[in-house]
Amino acid sequence: MSFIRSSKIEYKSNPQILKMREAGLILAEALDATVAAAAVGKTTAELDQVFESVITGHHATSNFKGYHGFPATICASVNEEVVHGIPGERVLQDGDVLKIDGGCIVDGWHADSARTVIVGTADPADQRLSDVTEEAMWRGIAALAEARFVGEIGEAIDDYVSEQDGARLGILEDYVGHGIGSEMHMPPDVLNYRSGHRGPRVKPGMCLAIEPMLVRGDIETAVLEDDWTIVTTDRSRASQWEHTVAVTMAGIWVLTAHDGGAERLAKYGVTPSPIQP
């Protein structure tokens, strides 16, 4: 989920980050199971049930269900739906671009992560959209490892997207990443584009949800009558990828990646810096 907030930044202690890591690993497992279940003929409500069964099986709590009245444990957004789609009786079709966004809480500490899944046979343009969005996320995460200011994350994402050959992809500006910790949405805002603002200084104990959202067309969006689902007004397809990342004394640690981000960050010369219990 993505909302804009502005107030005091929360810096976590090592034990608190370890609780967020616990939540992040449960979340990664739940997303693995939900992605594996996403297939032609499945409903988005069925996927929500898969996700919920994993986190409840670990005695974790959903941080989406009941949030400002949201009725499910995941956001399931299909095609032109960018984010905050409500799971229901919609049946997935061949070629659908599905965004699965979920989160969970362990002992009061939150994790948030999202993936894009192309159901069945992928249109090459949709696959490119998802691939570029995912790599843009990793480029932003890698930038955080050396960043002095939070705004450098958005600069890295914007630069990566802008340098891609082929059809231009738009970066959503109305919905951004966020701080996370004792609440799901906290300061600071984590922009996915160049804004001219440095943002707050990066400090150990800062935890951020980095989540670029890209579209194949115009970046203008609208909210559907359910007061949740965000869609592109030109009905162009969208992708979302997200990880929760902690800044430690030694570097960064991707709390919602099984390996802490090691494999995907290696190409950028970044090694995750886990906190030892």
Is 185 labeled as ligand-binding? Answer: yes
> Which secondary-structure segment (H or E) carries 58?
none
* Stated pTM of the model: 0.96
The CATH fold assigned to 14-268 is Creatine Amidinohydrolase (3.90.230)
The domain spans of the chain are 14-268
Per-residue pLDDT of the chain (277 residues; tens, 9 = 90+): 544 444 699 999 999 999 999 999 999 999 999 999 999 999 999 999 999 999 999 999 999 999 999 999 999 999 999 999 999 999 999 999 999 999 999 999 999 999 999 999 999 999 999 999 999 999 999 999 999 999 999 999 999 999 999 999 999 999 999 999 999 999 999 999 999 889 999 999 999 999 999 999 999 999 999 999 999 999 999 999 999 999 999 999 999 999 999 999 999 999 999 998 8
Contact 182, 164 (CB under 8 A): no
Q: For residue 216, how far is the Cα from the chain centroid?
A: 18
Is 59 labeled as ligand-binding? Answer: no
Compute the 3-state secondary structure of the chain and give helix, strand, coil in percent, each to the nearest 5: 30, 25, 45
Is 243 labeled as ligand-binding? Answer: no
> Which secondary-structure segment (H or E) carries 151?
helix 151-162
